[in-house]
Amino acid sequence: MHKCSGALKFRYVWTLEKSRSQGSILRDLRLFSWIQSCWSHDNKFTHYTETPFHTAPYVIAQESGQKIRYHSTLSRKIYDAQPNEVCKANRNITNLIRNGRLGDARGLFDKLTHRNTVTWNSMISGYVQNREIVKARHLFDEMPQRDVFSWNLVISGYLACKGNGYLEEGRKLFDEMPERDYVSWNTMISGYAKAGKMGEAVEIFECMDDKNVVSWNAVISGFLRNRDVKTAVEYFKKMPERDSASLGVLVSGLIQNGELDEAEHVLYEFGEGSDGKEDLVHAYNTLIAGYGQKGRVDDARRLFDKVPCCSGQRISRNKRFERNVVSWNSMIMAYIKAGDVVSARELFDQMTERDTFSWNTMVCGYVHASNMDEASDLFSKMPNPDVLSWNSIISGYAQTGNLELAHDYFERMPHKNRVSWNSMISGCERNADYEGAIKLFSEMQQAGEKPDRHTLSSLLSVCAETVALFLGMQIHQLVTKTVIPDIPLNNSLITMYARCGAIHEARTIFERMKFQKDVISWNAMVGGYASHGFAFEALELFELMKRLKVRPTRITFISVLNACAHAGLVEQGRLYFKSMDSEFGIIPEVEHFASLVDIVGRHGQLEEAMKVINTMPVEPDKAVWGAVLGACRVHNNVELARIAAEALMCLEPESSGPYVLLYNMYADVGRWDDANEIRMLMETNNIRKEAAYSTVGSTSS
């Protein structure tokens, strides 16, 4: 904490030119409040600005006996000195607010017998920061004496809140101000622009007698925010003067609007005349990253090559306009996003200066490419791996199924965070190490790390896969106590209860989601009904889904066709199958053909089942032939059963299922020679009958 005391001799420079976003206004106001509050009684605080903090180039504080100047066009004297006890109280209020103790700050404020304008402004600022605009306004109305800073604080507080009512209240205060500074005007421009009311923003802008460069930047940024690219460029060209951030504002806004080619044109046309070379290279870096995000790697590289590279002792004419580490990182990231890890590594090896982001980008690139050998090798060479570095390696090994190495890195990690635990728990769940996932969650709780939605979702998947209803209910209680369930977490709850057969509980959660459901929610519920024999409920829900214009997916139709098979709805099953392509443009896959074969086969239409198989555009898999074999068993078609069984023997040569089923069918009709032939074939192929087992109750607690 810096203390501005008379005994301290220093020259302190705050560079605020970088902060030009709308969100920086409150931060800059708080900065000024701090400077006010910490200036001691033996200094002369003679001037403060009526220009916005994000418009002025610097603040200079000089040693005792001299004055602080906040360079601006307008300034006025507020006081020459303040009692030491009030200054101390102001600092204490500011510190309490900064540490999140707003109530204690108000308690101290109320106890003060002497307050100055800074005291009131500090307390109002605390309320504004915490979006408690009603309390801020109440204090503002009670102020015995206000300055322009007080007005700007409350106006910015209103504009930070969402809703037209707050915006109108801010405008009323603006109109009532006895005098305005640049902060007042620019805050209103930004507030209207943020609310999408560019007509009002331009009206305020045009009413300004003396527009500064930030006013122009604010209105241009507003047009870009509201996707009026053409007008933004027109205003940029009309600017009487530009600062080093003006070009960056326009280029960034054009990129956000998808106008990358226009952004490059602007960069070439106006970049050469820019005084701020650091901001110019920032604009280039932003466009390189933008091209990378859109997959235009060649354009990104062309732009990257245009940025001069510092070479040894050579002094460039554009000294500050040269590649910095962000330039290299942006280009490497573009290659990584395009999947070109080789080109990314070539650039990485050429870098003379790397930061942690450079290393992490390269490590993550190898992880995404599942090249864990290179990722691990690079990680071992990192000078200072951070938590992201460790988490990337852990996640990579977990995703590739190497839980042993993932766990080894996890144990060696110096400082674990929630993402570290989630990566390991998710890795165990994906690799069917369900016991390991539960054990890790227990250790996570013992370590004092609180679970989030990702943790709980992985645990619910474990419960669903192991049909562990009791554990799933415990996790549900934890969800209720620790987080506000979002759509994916509610979907996990529905899936868990449905898989465990608790259909009523699943439907309850489904109904509570109301209009927050997505197609996964519907699929989970339809699939739950279908898999537990509630065929008509599944189909009724599917029809409701269509009436509500929720577009089904391939997963939806697998459940719907299975429901038709269980209910014996042959004709309806055929219609649903045809509607996949004709109505929804979904090309049937092998799973859908297997369901159709099951539908007609169960009904005894085995010839039609074989016709479906013979006309399939894809090779039938074990599910298709399994459906045929099951239907043949029910309808006692031994000859067709042999065809299906032989197909299954080829697909699953080590499985005893088709042998046993075919043997039993021959035995049932008294064809013992054929049955013995199957038994001898099993012995020849060294096929052993698999022992039966059950998981019911095995993981219920």
Asked if pLDDT for residue 249 goes beyond 70, the answer is: yes
For 482-503, the pLDDT digits (tens) are: 999 999 999 999 999 999 999 9
CB neighbour list of residue 117: distance below 8 Å, 6 or more residues apart? 78, 79, 143, 145, 146, 147, 149, 150
In this predicted model, what pLDDT tens digit does every residue of 3-49 receive, in sequence order?
A: 333 332 222 223 333 333 434 444 444 444 444 444 333 333 333 33
Tell me the range of 232-246, 271-285, 321-335 where mean pLDDT is highest.
Answer: 321-335
Give the pLDDT score at 441.
Answer: 96
- Percent of the residues in the chain that have a pLDDT greater than 90, as a whole number: 65
* pLDDT value, residue 63: 31
- At which residue do the structure tokens 């200072």 appear? 384
Q: What is the pLDDT of residue 37?
A: 40
User: Is the confidence at residue 479, as pLDDT, over 80?
Assistant: yes
Quick one: pLDDT band at residue 320, thresholds 50, 70, 90?
low
Q: Can you give the pLDDT at residue 83?
A: 63
Distance CA 151, CA 144 (A): 13
Encode 564-611 in three state secondary structure. Answer: HHHHCCHHHHHHHHHHHHHHHCCCCCHHHHHHHHHHHHHCCCHHHHHH
Per-residue tokens: 155 = 């106006």
Residue 74 confidence class, pLDDT cut points 50, 70, 90 = very low
Q: What is the pLDDT of residues 358-370, one digit of tens each?
A: 999 999 999 999 9
Neighbours of 319 (CB within 10 A): 10
Name the most confidently modeled range: 277-291, 328-342, 633-647.
328-342
What pLDDT is recorded for position 687? 78
Burial of 404 (0-12, 13-18, 19+ CB in 10 A): exposed
How many other CB atoms are there within 10 angstroms of residue 401's CB atom?
13
Measuring CA to CA, which residue among 460, 390, 462, 375 is closest to residue 421? 390
Helices and strands, number each (H, E), in the chain = 37, 5
614 has pLDDT over 80: yes
What's the average model confidence in pLDDT over 159-174?
Answer: 89
Give residue 310's pLDDT.
Answer: 62
pLDDT at 636 over 50: yes
pLDDT score, position 379:
96
Average pLDDT over residues 147-175: 91
Residue 276 confidence (pLDDT): 55
pLDDT band at 153 (very low <50, low <70, confident <90, very high): very high
Q: What does each C-alpha distance from 593 to 555, 563, 602, 612 come to in angstroms?
A: 13, 14, 14, 8
Per residue in 538-584, pLDDT (tens digit) is: 999 999 999 999 999 999 999 999 999 989 999 999 999 999 999 99
Q: How far is residue 440's CA from residue 96's CA, in Å, rounded to a whole number?
A: 38
Percent of the chain with pLDDT over 70: 84
Vertex 114: Cα angle to 113 and 115 (nearest 5) = 125
pLDDT at 85 (0 to 100)? 85
Q: Are 381 and 362 in contact (CB under 8 A)?
A: no
Q: pLDDT tens, 125-150?
A: 999 999 999 999 999 999 999 999 99
pLDDT for the residue 273:
61
- pLDDT at residue 169 in the model: 92
d(CA 162, CA 19): 22
Residue 124 and residue 127: Cα distance in Å, rounded?
Answer: 5
CB 375 within 8 A of CB 367: yes
pTM value is 0.72
* CA–CA distance, 264 with 251 (Å, rounded to integer): 8
**pLDDT tens profile 656-696:** 888 898 898 989 889 999 899 988 888 888 877 665 545 44
Output the CA torsion sign for 375, 456, 503, 521: negative
Q: Are 137 and 145 in contact (CB under 8 A)?
A: no
pLDDT computed for residue 30 by the predictor: 46
DSSP state of 240: S
Q: How far apart are CA 173 and CA 190, in angstroms?
A: 16
More confident residue, 322 or 122: 122
Dihedral sign (CA 541, 542, 547, 552): positive
Nearest one of 158, 102, 93 to 131, comparing CA atoms: 158
The pLDDT value recorded for residue 156 is 92
pLDDT, mean over the chain = 84
Give the chain's length: 701
Q: For the range 287-291, what are the long-range contacts, defined as Cβ-Cβ under 8 Å and sequence gap of 24 or more?
A: 287/251, 287/255, 287/260, 287/263, 288/327, 288/330, 288/331, 288/334, 289/330, 289/333, 289/334, 290/255, 290/260, 290/263, 291/260, 291/334
Taking a C-beta distance cutoff of 8 angstroms, is the pair 31, 53 a contact?
yes
Structure confidence at residue 246 (pLDDT): 84
